[in-house]
Amino acid sequence: MIDHIKLASSKSKGKRPYFHDDPAVERVLNITMAIAGELAVMRERMDSIERLLEKKGLVSQKEIDTYVPETKEEETQRQEWHSEYISRVLRIVQQEMEELENPDKSIADIANDIDKM
Amino acid sequence: MAKNLPPVWNKIAKHAMMPETNHDERARYNFLANLNKHLAHVSQGNKMAFEKRVEPAFVKEKERSIASVEELNEAISKDSHYQIWSSLRRSTMEMRQQAGRSIVLRQAEELRDKAAELNKGKATLVLDANCKVPEYLLAVDNHLMPGSYHTELIEGDVTPAANYDSGIFVTTAGLLGRYNDGGGKAITSWVKKTYPDFAPKRILDIGCGMGHNVLPIARAFPNAEVIAIDTGAPMLRYAHARALDLGVTNVTFMQMDAAKTIFENESFDWIQSTMFFHETGGKSIYKIMDEVYRLLKPGGLTLHIEQPQYTDDMSLFEKFIRDWDALNNSEPYWSKMHDIEPIDLMVSSGFKKEDFMQIGAKAENDLDDGTQKADEPEDHGRSPIWNVFGAIKN
Ligand SMILES: C[S@@+](CC[C@H](N)C(=O)[O-])C[C@H]1O[C@@H](n2cnc3c(N)ncnc32)[C@H](O)[C@@H]1O
């Protein structure tokens, strides 16, 4: 089986441009935007849940507040979610490592190369 | 009501090959489509920053105006609005790839098996293990798509195409329609309207990718034999399975380099490409056009849907911002193709000057419910507004 979590966050071929004077700004911005995205995802999910609960009158706030995983499987599922979540959020750090390991040409250089292909 | 909301992702058409998505994955695509749309609007601020502070500062310092796109690039790259916009746009494109790949890679084997089942024993899918991926495709991953169109993470992989199919909606904010085929539909309508008596027997689509834009053509000419070629096996496996599931059976998908096909001279009535040439290379583009000329029957039609051309009356800023995607969304050849006039490209292959044609095209969008306002600013490089060039061979 392929490592789908790691592979999903792979870097694409071609040196990454940085736009801020300090690359650290760019790194933090990317992490922040990924979290912003996940917050939006969570918000949409909560919205679904709240609408369904409201329609069916099913689950109380208290039940949710006191819930803990009940089986090993539930525990694993939760941890796997965290693992994938962190990989997604820290994508740029992984990609900088991949660039270090496998240095790329600039896109302008590649354009010049390709122009001769 | 808020203006310019993109449609929700679940509006796109489902077919057997479309990857399964769960609630959060769809929400992630919805977030990214909205983020793209937001940045398209904020990008208007780049022009303002350029006119109000970048250009004046340059003029003040150098006592002359900015003379080239390169100079403009250097000057604007120090501007803080341009910096934050660029880094957000880049980040959005990377997140789009991450989101798509996290959907398709977790189900790589299931997707492979679905395609294999639909493709089993069919003569209309012809793969060729000896077909080489052109070196320009090996040099870069176009539009930040890790592994490009050809990489197989498992045997029989279709994930590059599944990622493309499910995620193109995000980049275009749904403007290509439910089947992402707004380009293919537009060209089909134009051909039917312009040449009502045209009845092509053999049609070739070059660089067909996952085949979404060739299907409207195949449907419009059900008696024609349509051949769609690509060098990426994952794209073809997916395209073929997708076409069959959507009920289109008159397309044969073949793994072949468009620069050196196996077809006979003058054997096609219509040769089409869509968003293809800007992802080729400086020598190959001429070889491919030579091949188009060789394969086209006398009286045959060839059309190529491409990114908008640069024009002489375009401002430096406009040229610069149009090139943003080329360099920062890894579409490097796009930045070079601007230097080639389509008419010269075609004439160099043998087409006659007087037979050259150029038209504008806009995607036909069956998702448009009026909430997408027509007066929104153009998202350079993303808007479904294209230049179509071509010729009738005489
Ligand atoms: C941007 S995609 C366009 C796909 C499709 N035509 C569309 O409408 O979106 C470009 C495709 O061209 C293929 N390609 C690039 N060079 C090629 C060549 N020399 N011969 C055949 N296919 C090629 C790539 O593998 C990729 O699938």
What DSSP character marks residue B10? G
Same domain, A80 and A57: no
Task: State whether residue B8 sits within 8 Å of chain A by CB.
Answer: no
What is the phi/psi pair of residue B250, to 5°? -100, 25
- Return the closest-CA partner of residue B277 out of B295, B259, B297: B259
Are the CB atoms for A91 and A30 separated by under 8 Å? yes
CA of B231 to the centre of ligand 1 (A): 7
Q: Which residues have C-beta atoms less than 6 Å from ligand 1? A: B 134, 137, 149, 183, 206-209, 213, 229-232, 235, 257-259, 274-276, 279-280
Q: Do B102 and A8 touch (CB under 8 A)?
A: yes
Whether B64 has a pLDDT exceeding 70, the answer reads: yes
Residues of B in contact with A117 (CB under 8 A): 134-136, 139, 281-284
Residues of B in contact with A92 (CB under 8 A): 94
Same domain, A76 and A42: no
- Return the closest-CA partner of residue B94 out of B37, B49, B32: B32
Domain architecture of chain B: domains with CATH = 9-124+135-169 (no CATH), 178-392 (3.40.50.150)
Structure confidence by residue, pLDDT tens digits, B89-146: 999 999 999 999 999 999 999 999 999 999 999 999 999 999 999 999 999 999 999 9
Same domain, A83 and A114: yes
Q: If you average pLDDT over residues B225-237, what whole number do you get?
A: 98
Structure confidence by residue, pLDDT tens digits, B32-51: 998 888 888 777 788 889 99
β-partners of residue B359 are B388
Same domain, A77 and A104: yes
Task: State whether residue B151 sits within 8 Å of chain A by CB.
Answer: no
Asked whether residue A1 is domain-assigned, the answer is: no
Are the CB atoms for B359 and B171 separated by under 8 Å? no
Looking at per-residue confidence, does B349 or B367 come out higher?
B349
CB pairs under 8 A between A and B: 150
> Tokens at residue A25, please?
């700004």
**Closest to A33 (Cβ–Cβ): which among B77, B91, B327?**
B91
Are the CB atoms for B184 and B219 separated by under 8 Å? no
Same domain, A80 and A117: yes
Asked whether residue A9 is domain-assigned, the answer is: no
Looking at per-residue confidence, does B330 or B42 come out higher?
B330
Q: What is the pLDDT of residue B383?
A: 65
Whether B200 has a pLDDT exceeding 90, the answer reads: yes
**Nearest-angstrom CA–CA distance, B136 and A110:** 9
Low-confidence ranges of chain A (pLDDT < 50): none
Asked whether residue A6 is domain-assigned, the answer is: no
Whether B313 has a pLDDT exceeding 60, the answer reads: yes
Q: Do A18 and B87 touch (CB under 8 A)?
A: yes
Question: ipTM surpassing 0.90, yes or no?
Answer: no
Q: What is the pLDDT of residue B374?
A: 44
Helices (H), chain A: 4-8, 23-56, 61-65, 72-89, 91-101, 107-115
How many separate domains does chain A show? 2
Q: If you average pLDDT over residues B246-266, what whole number do you get?
A: 98
CA of B305 to the centre of ligand 1 (A): 12
Listed by number, the residues of chain B in 100-129 with a beta carbon closer than 8 Å to a beta carbon of chain A are 101-102, 105-106, 108-109
Task: State whether residue B315 sits within 8 Å of chain A by CB.
Answer: no
Asked whether residue A106 is domain-assigned, the answer is: yes
Are the CB atoms for B303 and B269 separated by under 8 Å? no
Q: Which residue range forms the structural domain that includes residue A63?
A: 20-67
Asked whether residue A84 is domain-assigned, the answer is: yes
> Tokens at residue B241, please?
């399975």
Residues of A in contact with B42 (CB under 8 A): none
Same domain, A77 and A51: no
Whether B371 has a pLDDT exceeding 60, the answer reads: no
- Most distant CA pair in chain A: distance in Å? 67
